[in-house]
Amino acid sequence: MPSDEWHGVHWHASVGSTWDGERTAAAVLRSPWQVAEWLDRQTRQHVHHREVVAIAERVWVTIGDEDDLEHLRQENFRIASRGDSIHTDVYAESARHVLHVEAVTDAQCTHGDAPH
């Protein structure tokens, strides 16, 4: 269930190749839907579609198909609606892309892009 705890928060979004290090915001996102949509676009751009075994269920599942991407989009929306950050990686065929969506309050924002 989505929350409304995100009010007073915005997100700085970036793509990198590592988890740490300096990052420059590629986008400033102002709502949980913008967070979910940005992550969805980045994931679709980079994901390598493949099948993997879900050990707990003992079945093969497809990563990157429409059902998987829609599930991720809804989950990212729920996380952002709590005002939380999201850091995840997406594996392409030959590279890994780390997606960072960092939640910041207006008081924490050092980029001068806090909503007025």
78 in a structural domain: yes
2 in a structural domain: no
Q: Phi-psi category of 110—alpha, beta or left, where left has phi over 0 and alpha has psi -120 to 50?
A: alpha
- DSSP string over 6-35: TTTEEEEEEEESSSSS----SEEE-SHHHH
Q: Which residue ranges of the chain lie beneath pLDDT 70?
A: 1-2, 19-22, 48-57, 59-64, 112-116
* Residue in the structure block whose two tokens are 């005002």: 83
Q: Residue 61 has what pLDDT?
A: 62
82 in a structural domain: yes
Q: Residue 96 has what pLDDT?
A: 81
Question: Which residues have a Cβ under 8 Å from the Cβ of 30 and sit 6 or more positions away?
Answer: 10, 11, 115
Which uninterrupted H or E stretch holds 90?
strand 86-91
Q: Residue 99 has what pLDDT?
A: 92
Q: What is the span of the domain harbouring residue 31?
A: 9-105
Q: What's the number of domains the chain is made of?
A: 1
110 in a structural domain: no
111 in a structural domain: no
4 in a structural domain: no
18 in a structural domain: yes
pTM, whole model, 2 decimals? 0.79
19 in a structural domain: yes
